[in-house]
Amino acid sequence: GAVVSQHPSRVICKSGTSVKIECRSLDFQATTMFWYRQFPKQSLMLMATSNEGSKATYEQGVEKDKFLINHASLTLSTLTVTSAHPEDSSFYICSGRMHSNQPQHFGDGTRLSIL
Amino acid sequence: KQEVTQIPAALSVPEGENLVLNCSFTDSAIYNLQWFRQDPGKGLTSLLLIQSSQREQTSGRLNASLDKSSGRSTLYIAASQPGDSATYLCAVDPTQTSGSRLTFGEGTQLTVNP
């Protein structure tokens, strides 16, 4: 149980385009979803936390207008990287959690490459 | 600000060896600590979760211990196998009142040689 599906797994696009990444909780209701970014050989860095029906809370240094997060339902959150540039190339991972006293369950990540 | 450190950064062992991965954290006010496994280009698989009130958790060949007062956790892997090769991450969850915002270590990259 507790499966999180992330789509797409890999995307390559030109600089200046916007890219949307979906994160779905398949068998549980994720009241909170988290978006992380991971650079090569580094650990996960939290970008933002979103609660269903509320605006996302962004970590310091993360541009909210650059990384648009929507969490409109208990099973779906989306991250849109707007006007992507090569420096946005990274591995993006989402996770979902049902209750605050329960662990996060992670998706398989999205490899984003901006040319 | 919580900081999580994992030692060693990389480890290479022959198959069958028992090994210990270390994780330390600077702020002992944690809600729980988790150990994850990450295969190359993949997301995270949760291995063990230890609540702050617990001392250890076991799952198969894995045993994780927690010493909250000293800010340390260890992941013990018994009889290692090539399939155990992956990056192992530990993450601490702060006290419940501040919400669940995991702080990750940088991981230990484990290679088990057949």
The ranges of chain B with pLDDT < 50 are 98
For residue range A80-107, list pLDDT tens digits in order. Answer: 999 999 999 999 999 998 887 778 899 9
CA distance B55 to chain A (A): 18
Least confident of A35-39, A63-67, B29-33, B89-93: B29-33
| Averaged pLDDT score across all residues of chain A | 92
Furthest C-alpha separation in chain B: 46
**Which one of B102, B106, B108 makes the best mutation probe of the A interface by having the most chain A beta carbons within 10 Å?**
B102
In the block, residue with structure tokens 């991971």: A38
pLDDT for res A43: 87
Which bin fits B53, alpha (ψ -120 to 50), beta or left (φ > 0)? alpha
Q: How big is the CA angle at A23 (ends A17 and A28), to the nearest 5 degrees?
A: 170
For chain A, give the percent of residues with pLDDT over 90: 77
Over range A24-53, report the average pLDDT: 91
pLDDT for res A103: 81
Which residues in chain A (37-96) have CB-CB distances under 8 A to chain B? 42-46, 49, 91, 93, 95
Whether B101 contacts chain A with CB within 8 A? yes
Three-state DSSP class for residue A88: helix
pLDDT for res B109: 96
CA dist A34 and A105 (Å) reads 10
CB contacts of B44 in chain A (<8 Å) are 44, 93, 95, 106
pLDDT for res A100: 73
Cα B103 from chain centroid (whole Å): 12
Whether A103 contacts chain B with CB within 8 A? yes
pLDDT for res B31: 86
Tell which residue, B69, B29, B91, has the closest CA to residue A103. Answer: B91
Instruction: Give the Cβ contact number of residue A99 at 10 Å.
Output: 11
Residue A19 has pLDDT above 60, yes or no: yes
Over range A1-21, report the average pLDDT: 93
DSSP states of B23-61 as a string?
EEES---EEEEEEEEE-TT--EEEEEEEETT-SEEEETT
pLDDT for res B99: 54
Whether B23 contacts chain A with CB within 8 A? no
pLDDT for res A46: 93
CA distance A87 to chain B (A): 18
